[in-house]
Structure 1
Amino acid sequence: MIRLFILVIITFELSAQEYVPAKYASSGSQGIADSGIYTLAGNPAGVSRINRPQLALGYQQHFLGTDIQSQALFFAMPIKAQGGLGLLIENYGIPEVTSLIKSGFTFSKYFGKQINASLSINYHQYHVESYTTSKSWSADLGFQYLFEKVQLGAVFKNISGSTFSNEIPEAIDQEIAFGALYYLSDEIQVLAELSNDFDSSIKYSAGLAYKIHKQIILRGGASSLPVEFHAGAGILVKKFIVDVASSFHTQLGSSPQLAIAYEF
């Protein structure tokens, strides 16, 4: 009965459940202005300047006590004198009940020392066990501009305005988002973002990352729509980076997650 109740709830707002990796969820952001493998889930222009191939896995338990989960696989590799390629596969839903799968391939290119741009082609599949399956395609554009201490980013998701069939009540996100990352010092980063999905008010978020040790980073932040608080940490262990995070919804509780990345 509880699974059916949860399914009814998420049916009305499944489109808002794109996976946000632990590195960014811990500060309330999507990584719109950041760089690295996890930007494949936020603004893929951020993989333009990676130096080595990277692989990452992520898992999130949505609202402790429910069966709602997210899993994600990331892969990114540099292209010499060009930029980077990326692959993202993510799944959101209730095991053996429903799933929303998104697979995306990204080509990201840099122009000089300051501009990054990306194009992502995504495949979407929504499935409800013993009921229905629907499929669709979409495209995303991402941009970044780099200053000495400030990075700016913008992304337009689902520029094609793609949808599932009329029989499916869920939508595919069509969102525009802007972000800024400011290096206050070698140890402290400040992040701020705003986004709009054209169906609701503008969402705001802000966060802070503090490197307390060369191998440990602490993060925290807050976001609106709905109001949530965020906290987490990143730990570097040889070639592995482990990120843990949790978001705290004022009514539904916490959603912990874990991500592990490896640089070849």
Structure 2
Amino acid sequence: MLRCLLFLFSIVQASAQTMQSPAMLGMGNTAAAKESVYSVWRNPAGIARLSSAQAGIAFQSHFISSAFYSYAGVATKSIANFGVAGIQYANSQLSGAIASSSVGICYGYSILKKWNVGAGIDRQVVRWKDFETENYENDSEHRFLANVGLQYHGEHFSAGAYYKQLGELVIGVGYRVSDQLHLAADLSKEELQRPDFRAGLRYQVVRNFYLLGGISSNPLQHYAGASVLIRNFRIDLASSFHRDLGFSPQVAMGYALR
């Protein structure tokens, strides 16, 4: 019974959230101070210094359930000297009964070389299937959600924060210990929920191959993953592990136009 209740609660939570990339998920779901094409889903300031056009796609099976899965895509493009624009799309499905989708745009700009700022807006739709009519149109929820972010990047230390409408505030830091080891930590607070502390690391095993690991406190989950760079392509694999619900594996592929 407890497992069923936790599963249903996780569905409600997932329907209100955006996608996460394996490169961030594998590091404990940390994202505040990260620079990546996948920052479009989290902190829009993280795209401000991406000089090349990039794109990525991702798929996640929640709790290894064929009935509950998500897929998504992102892309960014530099606008001459006027910052970087990003777009995103994400969709989650549960047994054909609940469908959640999100489409949005964002913009990031670099200030004084070390500071990034960003803002975005998403249109989210959550639909419940009417089994009498076999469609979703009779009962659905539509909303627009704004998102703003800030980052600082020094030689070894980085910091970031972002706020998503409906009450999610995340602050985080990153530290490059060496060329091989990078550490990250986030503190997230959502309205009516306890704070969630997340921490993770990325370790370069050999050139172009990285191992990821992390942990979060609310709920208690462990994370692991790996990243491989092949020329302009990047392949990321990661999974979270919930002690009651099990694994949620995710895969993503990205491409950077040099």
Structure 1-normalised TM-score? 0.88
| 1:99-158 C-alpha deviation (Å, 9 max, x unpaired) | 111111001111111110011011011111225122111211110011111110000101
* Aligned positions of 1:93-172 closer than 5 A: 93-130=93-130, 131-158=138-165, 161=166
**Aligned positions, number:** 247
| Residues 59 and 71, structure 1, Cα contact 8 Å, conserved in 2 | yes
What is aligned with 1:223? Answer: 216
User: Hey, what does 1:181 align to over in structure 2?
Assistant: 174
Counterparts of residues 1-264 of structure 1 (less than 5 Å): 8-10=8-10, 12-14=12-14, 17-65=17-65, 67-130=67-130, 131-158=138-165, 161=166, 174-264=167-257
1:66-108 deviations in Å (ceiling 9; x for gaps) = 5111111000111222321001111123152211111110011
Question: C-alpha separation between the residues in 1 aligned to 2:62 and 2:240?
Answer: 9
What's 1:164 paired with?
none
Task: Report if the CA contact (8 A) 1:17-1:92 is conserved.
Answer: no
Share of identical aligned residues, percent? 28
* CA 1:5–1:32: 2 relative to 1, 3 Å: closer
Tell me, in whole angstroms, the C-alpha distance in 2 between the residues paired with 1:75 and 1:65. 28
The answer for the alignment partner of 1:170 in structure 2 is none
Q: How many Å separate the matches in 1 of 2:11 and 2:34? A: 31
Q: Give runs of ≥4 in structure 1 deviating > 6 Å.
A: 4-7
Which secondary structure does the structure 1 equivalent of 2:205 belong to? strand
Task: Provide the secondary structure at the position in 2 that maps to 1:13.
Answer: helix
CA distance in 2, matches of 1:179, 1:23: 16
Normalized against structure 2, the TM-score is what?
Answer: 0.90
Equivalent-residue separation in structure 1 for 2:84 and 2:30 (angstroms) = 19
Deviation at 1:7, TM superposition (A): 8.4
Secondary structure of the equivalent of 1:63?
helix
Cα contact 1:239–1:263 (8 A) shared by 2: yes
Q: What is the identity, as a one-letter code, of the residue corresponding to 2:187?
A: L
Secondary structure of the 1:221 match is strand
Structure 1's 95 and 112: CA in aligned 2 closer, same or farther, altered over 3 A? Answer: farther
Q: Distance in 1 between matches of 2:123 and 2:16?
A: 17
Which position in structure 1 is the counterpart of 2:135?
Answer: none
- Find the aligned partners of 2:237 and 2:8 in 1 and give their Cα distance: 29
Specify the code of the residue in structure 2 equivalent to 1:210: Y
| Alpha-carbon distance in 1 for matches of 2:5, 2:198 | 30
Task: Tell me the C-alpha RMSD between the 2 structures.
Answer: 1.9
Relative distance call for 1:150 and 1:59 in structure 2 (3 A) is same
* Structure 1 runs not aligned, ≥5 long: 162-173
Runs of 5+ consecutive residues of structure 2 not aligned to the other structure: 131-137
